[in-house]
Structure 1
Amino acid sequence: MILQSIDRRLTPGPKMSALADAVFRILTSLIFIIGGLGHFGEHRMMLDRIADSPWHDLVVAIGDPSLLLWLSGIVFVVFGIALALGWMTRLSALLILVTLIPITISVHIAPGHVGPLFKNIAIMGALLLLIARGGGAYSLDNRWGQ
């Protein structure tokens, strides 16, 4: 009974729910915008991490690691910004997710990377939520859809 009462009191109203959707979308996008910029600014260090990965040969089989790093950086920055704005939210989240999965497998499934692995898994959950729910009340998707 007490827990139900606490839960009812914590349930936000419509305005707070709409604001929470926007804040969630923007905060989620920041990791991709900042991380994507790191693909350019920390390019050599990231290539070294790929070289040290037990999955290095798989990455090379897919393509040139440097080119893949540039492409993933572009996806993260461009679609991270789109995600922050709530523009093409579902497509942006899907493209980021499709880019994040092979990065997670090739770099974070390695000894000593449990923290980054589960961080990426949590982020994948956030992206799936954005794909399912869309941009929310304060998104360009909803503004232009009206």
Structure 2
Amino acid sequence: MLSGIFLVAGANHLLHVDETVGRMERASLKNFALYFGEPDTLVILSGIVMLGAGLTFMSGYLTRYAAAVLLLVLIPITITVQVGQATTLGPLFKNVAIAGGLLFFILNSFTPVKPTHETTDSRTTRPQPDHLVHS
């Protein structure tokens, strides 16, 4: 569920490059983004990364790393576009909430629980956070 916003945003970055660049150029902290490169290149790269990491995150493969990549993309976008927009605090706090969700997956690794009895059916085991797995 958390990956959906990155899939939509990534697709929008790639399908509407000029609109996204325009939004970046209207942002009060646009110079922060310009520190990283040319706006067109940044929008295309962020779109590719959001789609790739979003699909990886959604699939559950390398979840921790995909969440870290998404967080690294979310931070500069949030600073550039949302911070400094006093009239649009909702999107800023939406991004803060998304960052919190990503941090949850970065800080909690999920691994399958090993059956404690030979009679335990492996199909009924559920992933548990590492700190709850007993070796």
> TM-score, with normalisation over the residues of structure 1?
0.72
Whichever structure has more strand as a proportion of its residues is 2
The aligned runs of 1:1-146 (5 Å cut-off) are 27-109=1-83, 110-134=85-109, 137=126
CA distance in 2, matches of 1:76, 1:102: 13
- Aligned AA for 2:26? D
Whichever structure has more helix as a proportion of its residues is 1
State, as a whole percentage, how many aligned pairs show the same letter.
35
- Aligned AA for 2:35? A
Q: Unmatched 5+ residue regions in structure 2?
A: 112-125, 128-135
User: Secondary structure of the equivalent of 2:2?
Assistant: helix
- Aligned AA for 2:53? F
Structure 1 residue aligned with 2:115: none
Q: After TM superposition, which residue ranges in structure 1, 4 or more long, deviate above 4 angstroms?
A: 135-138
Query: 1:39, 1:73 within 8 Å by CA — same for their partners in 2?
Result: yes
Q: Tell me the matched-pair count.
A: 112
Cα deviation for residue 111 of structure 1 reads: 3.1
- Aligned AA for 2:11? L
CA distance in 2, matches of 1:84, 1:135: 14
> TM-score, with normalisation over the residues of structure 2?
0.77
- Measured against aligned partners, the alpha-carbon deviations of 1:68-108 in whole angstroms (never above 9, x if no partner) come to 11111111100100001111100100010011000000001
Q: Unmatched 5+ residue regions in structure 1?
A: 1-26, 139-146
